[in-house]
Amino acid sequence: MPEDDGTPDDATDYAHRRIVLTSAARIRPRPVFWLWTGRLALGTLGLLAGREGTGKSTLSYWIAARITRGELPGQYQGAAKAVLVCATEDSWEHTIVPRLMAAGADLALVYRVEVLNADDIHVGLSLPRDLLAVDRAARETDAAMLLLDPLMSRLGDLDTHRDAEVRQALEPLVAIADRTSMAVLGLIHHNKSGSADPLQLVMGSKAFTAVARSVHTVVPDPDDDTDTRRLFGTPKNNLGRTDLPTLSFTIASYAIDTDEGTAWTGRLEWGEELAASIGDTMRRAADGREDRSATSEAADWLGDYVASKGGQVPSADAKRHGKAAGHSDAALRRARERLKLVVSSDGFPRVTYWDLPVASQSCHPPRGDDSTNTTDTTRDQSRQSRQLSQSGRDGADSDPTGAQLLPIGSR
């Protein structure tokens, strides 16, 4: 006989349904218990959203690893707990286990969740069909978290864009989480709307973010030109603070020794905390897209212009020619900062110059010279160039010794 998952199958079920009334005076108030203090509450559903390739899976396995070691700040800090993982997109042998190892997880406390049908064939966990089995697994392992990677794959034939069908799967899942005092973390992708609202970016029906008590987001850091730093924040937090700091992290390559050789994976490395919320950061990023595009174009032009002038130009000339090329003063200033041009001044009246960094001026600096000596040499060359330029603006290109004066960077 098939298991009863609590959802009506035919008219007979409706005939046996009844309303139950409970006085609020009989309901005992309870505090919120946190699996991850301030971010993920026990007995609730949380979402971890982001574009593909932003590191949200690596982050989720970092969380799982901390739980198995009793190291996650919260209710179970100091007490190792089990984690249930239902993952379908990544290979356990090639991806998930190496990630867990890189994060320092106790593998004995991480359980792969699989479903076998009547013919002993592996099929995916389906909600709400397999909810009672999830309940039993959580109780048997005393799990603190169920990780669904990704969440949408667990909804089977339900339409993930229809609120009623999404709630049909998620609301009973939350009831199971509450009964077992287990947190559920579902990974979900961002859509391609381009919205600056982190909740509007969550793919599928709005019921996903409505049912979840917390929504967490991973986005690229808009201020990181290397495109390696990620920002993690919590734009929705019904049971806790809404002003939590935004956390930054990078993913570093990590080698795992196996019986068949070295396996490479990624390991999460936390960076600084940012005072701005993830929502503010995403709105600023959206507002700055046009500015960043203008900055990139200006940086391409400015780098070529300074290089064509031997690695050094008067700033007034750069601004004048840059404006003629269609670049604003603000874009040129940001471009100068991106290129890390050295700003210096000399002479009377004082003239300001923009110089390419020393490393950019010569791919092969003199051997045996430290960075200080190289910088001093370049400054001496710059000073000599300016003195000659100021003393003989009639086109003379030789120094007092008669040696030809070459552009800085060509020596």
Predicted pLDDT at 142? 97
Q: What's the chain's average pLDDT?
A: 84
**How confident is the model over 255-281, as a mean pLDDT?**
92
Cα–Cα separations (whole angstroms), residue 295 to 226, 249, 281, 314? 15, 25, 19, 20
The runs of H, that is alpha helices, within 242-288 are 278-287
pLDDT tens digits for 27-52? 999 999 999 999 999 999 999 999 99
CATH number for the domain formed by residue range(s) 11-287: 3.40.50.300
Predicted pLDDT at 10? 54
The candidate with the shortest Cα–Cα distance to 39, out of 84, 4, 75, 70, is: 75
More confident site: 398 or 298 = 298
pLDDT tens digits for 379-405? 444 444 444 444 433 333 333 333 333
Do strands 183-189 and 143-149 pair parallel, antiparallel, or not at all (unpaired)? parallel
Predicted pLDDT at 189? 96
Q: In this model, does residue 228 exceed pLDDT 70?
A: yes
pLDDT tens digits for 126-139? 999 999 999 999 99
Predicted pLDDT at 210? 97
Confidence band (pLDDT; 50, 70, 90) for 292?
A: low
Those residues whose C-beta lies under 8 Å from the C-beta of residue 27, and which sit 6 or more positions away, are none
- Please tell me the least confidently modeled range out of 21-35, 164-178, 228-242, 282-296: 282-296
* DSSP one-letter string for 105-159: --GGGEEE--EE-TTS-EE---TTTTHHHHHHHHHHHTEEEEEEESSGGGGTTS-
- What the block records as the tokens of 303 is 């780098």
**How confident is the model over 185-192, as a mean pLDDT?**
95
Confidence band (pLDDT; 50, 70, 90) for 334?
A: confident
Domain ranges (residues) in the chain: 11-287, 299-391
Predicted pLDDT at 390? 42
Q: In this model, does residue 332 exceed pLDDT 70?
A: yes
Candidate ranges 92-101, 113-122, 307-316; pick with highest mean pLDDT: 92-101
Percent with pLDDT over 90 in the chain: 63
Do strands 34-36 and 40-41 pair parallel, antiparallel, or not at all (unpaired)? antiparallel
Q: In this model, does residue 308 exceed pLDDT 50?
A: yes
Predicted pLDDT at 346? 85
pLDDT tens digits for 55-100? 999 999 999 999 999 999 999 999 999 999 999 889 999 999 999 9
**Cα separation, 261 vs 259, whole angstroms:** 6
**Cα separation, 376 vs 353, whole angstroms:** 16
The candidate with the shortest Cα–Cα distance to 144, out of 37, 32, 42, is: 42
**How confident is the model over 238-261, as a mean pLDDT?**
94
Confidence band (pLDDT; 50, 70, 90) for 200?
A: very high
- Please tell me the least confidently modeled range out of 270-279, 336-345, 372-381: 372-381
Percent with pLDDT over 70 in the chain: 82
Q: Residue holding tokens 């973010």?
A: 209
Confidence band (pLDDT; 50, 70, 90) for 285?
A: confident
- What the block records as the tokens of 59 is 């982050």
Q: Which amino acid is at 395?
A: G
Predicted pLDDT at 384? 47
